Structure 1
Amino acid sequence: MDSVLATTAWYSPSWLFPPALSQFDWVNSFWLYLIPTIPAIFALRWLINLKFGRKLHVAFSKSEIRSSPITYLRFIPPMLFALALTMVMIALARPQKSSETIEQWSEGIDIMLAIDISQSMEIEDFKPNRLEAAKDVAEEFISGRFRDRIGIVIFSGDAYSLTPLTTDYDLLRENIDEIDFDMIQKSGTAIGSAIGVSTNRMRESDAKSKVIILLSDGDNTAGNIDPITAAKLAEAYGIKIYTIGIGKNGRVPWGKDFFGRPRYVESYLNEKTLKEIAEIGHGQFFRATNNKALEEIFDRIDNYEKVKIKENKYKNTEDFYSIYLKWAIVFFLAWLATKLTFINNILED
């Protein structure tokens, strides 16, 4: 409707009907409440004239008295004057249309998710297992970001970049869905290599904030770079590191035996290295022992690494009172014209 109003000529009758009037915002809306008084004033004037007006008594025989529709033309001048007054009151109410444009932007953050896919991530103390739980919360984390570039590194006995930094969140979710234990054949847990690959991906980034979120359930047992050395290298490039230790200590379920019964293994996470990495990277270490705890950790990191979304609002207001003033002039001139014709002198019955 807004575009229709913008292209409608002022002399179009559509301006006078409710569909057009209902689209406006009114600055002085109290004038609209006075419009019903206009017909009331004319009705009162008619009653006064009927009671006190001068009457011309003319005698006609019954056979000579005829009703003529021409007598109703006498109502045209007061109707035109009432319409002129109505248009003036609509103009005084200041009809307007406002459109608001909002521009949003943020400087964005570069985030690398480094996800452990070693065989121990198959342990089922998380549902359905550690890796699938990590994938689920990673996807939720991505869905909550705004204009941040996110990349994915996977690691076990070696590490490689699965997805470069991108804002294509659909692609990121697809790649996370496809993460599997068989993607890296070399066994072990190369935490240092994972940090090194993540750092290499962010080395030339000019983002205001750069973050690595490393999720693992084991000690560094593979790779050609020490985790502490890798963390110091990341810190030199201004990269913050959050580390998440995943898994319970003690007996945990891992697959089933020959008879289909749950098989249990001993699990132990050495937190020392992960804590030291987070300290060097000016981040924080978290320990997740179940699905809910892992979700809460990612929620906390999500809140820590939110940038302020800035916005500009532009409001454009257009007045339409001039259209109704023009209509008021048209109706007023029409009233003057009819006042000078025989219509104004038609006798009432």
Structure 2
Amino acid sequence: MGEQIANSSQWLSWHWFSWETLQNFNWEFPMVFYALIALPLILLIWFIIDRRKRQSLSIALTKSDIKWSPVSLLRLIPNFILILSFALLLLALARPQKTNEKVEQWTEGIDIMLLIDISESMQIEDFRPNRLEAAKNVAREFVMGRFQDRIGLVVFSGEAYSRSPLTTDYDLLNTYIDDIDFDLIQKGGTAMGSALAVGTNRMRESDSKSKVMILLSDGDNNAGNIDPIIAAELADAYDIKIYTIAIGKEGRVPFGKDYFGRTRYVENTLNETTLRKIAEIGHGEFYRVSDNKALENVFALIDKYEKAEIKENRFKDTTDFYPIYLKWGIVFFLLWMLLKSTFISNILQD
């Protein structure tokens, strides 16, 4: 666009001399501006030398005959035009430019499937406000921190189903995460094996070089008709790495209110054996978290481990605008030469 303007008849516009336009240019040779500053001094020296070399003619006139006329000021016009021509040529030498830089980023991408437990025990309030809401919060942050990775979502309790296929539409995915609720699955229990199987089924046709499942649960596998160890081995056969996160504290934990509105406490235990074994088979890592901060840190670690290299190309489109000022400089120089051949330059000077 800029190149078209520079080469079209629009160079005649006074727009090119506004302070806003000049300020927005990148100048390739800004040192030329020192010559622009020195130009008045150079022209003053030239004027003094010219005055000394100029021939004078003595004419005897009475004082009443000597009158000053404003017409004599016309002789200054050629000098002013010459100064303007030099200034424009110096502007052209400074080479005004505009550069548009375009950055293209891409990555080979990673396929990630989030498997989130929504069983009844995820309502326990040892996390704020409860285990499920804490998991949803860190999942949202994890999703928005990715770049061009396809991410999917599976929820499970007594059964498992795919909440979202692999997608790069993170806003839509976060909408699905927001809508996760305990009522999505009526059947109680914790079917980790089924969740792993659903996640594997979603990823088995993926041609991504890196495939990851993140399984978050607070209980033992006690539902579903698929053994979690067998499901983990099936995922491994498809080169899917598995991270497992055991969420929850041991001992007495707050769980809702009693009839009188007082906090109710229940005993909580968590068998880590199955989750550890799943992570081992899936060549991932097992984590145990007992508060919101620890959960955030775990997702931050996984985010750091499973980062694809982001590559970028930078393109620079540079448009020169010096022809505009060069044309103006030539026009004023030709005008000066024209005026040198007219009566204006021949007006007698005192």
Decide: shared fold, TM above 0.5: yes
The aligned counterpart of 2:213 is: 212
The aligned counterpart of 2:260 is: 259
Q: Give the secondary-structure state (helix, strand or coil) at the position aligned to 1:36.
A: helix
Matches within 5 A, 1:41-190: 41-48=42-49, 54-190=55-191
Shift of 1:135: 0.8
Shift of 1:322: 3.0
The aligned counterpart of 1:26 is: 27
* Deviating more after overlay: 339-348 vs 42-51: 42-51
The aligned counterpart of 1:332 is: 333
Paired residue type of 1:181: F
Residue pair 1:5, 1:20 contacting (<8 A) in 2 also: no
CA distance 1:3–1:321, change in 2 (3 Å): closer
CA distance in 2, matches of 1:68, 1:17: 35
CA distance in 2, matches of 1:179, 1:3: 54
CA distance in 2, matches of 1:173, 1:19: 44
Residue pair 1:195, 1:234 contacting (<8 A) in 2 also: yes
Residue pair 2:5, 2:11 contacting (<8 A) in 1 also: no
Shift of 1:63: 4.5
- Deviations for 1:203-249, whole angstroms, at most 9, x for unmatched residues? 11112211111000000001110000000000101111110000001
CA distance 1:238–1:41, change in 2 (3 Å): same
CA distance in 2, matches of 1:147, 1:82: 58
Shift of 1:116: 0.4
CA distance in 1, matches of 2:251, 2:28: 72
Does 2:198 correspond to 1:197?
Answer: yes
Paired residue type of 1:101: K
The aligned counterpart of 1:226 is: 227
* Deviating more after overlay: 57-66 vs 195-204: 57-66
Paired residue type of 2:96: P
Shift of 1:134: 0.6
Question: What is the root-mean-square deviation of aligned Cα atoms in Å?
Answer: 2.1
The aligned counterpart of 1:321 is: 322
Does 2:315 correspond to 1:341?
Answer: no
CA distance in 1, matches of 2:21, 2:291: 60
Query: Any unmatched runs of 5+ in structure 1?
Result: none
Q: Give the secondary-structure state (helix, strand or coil) at the position aligned to 2:29.
A: coil
The aligned counterpart of 2:273 is: 272
CA distance in 2, matches of 1:335, 1:273: 93
Residue pair 2:92, 2:322 contacting (<8 A) in 1 also: yes
Between the two proteins, the alignment pairs up a number of residues equal to 349
Shift of 1:275: 0.7
User: TM-score scaled to structure 2, two decimals?
Assistant: 0.93
Query: Any unmatched runs of 5+ in structure 2?
Result: none
Matches within 5 A, 1:294-305: 294-305=295-306
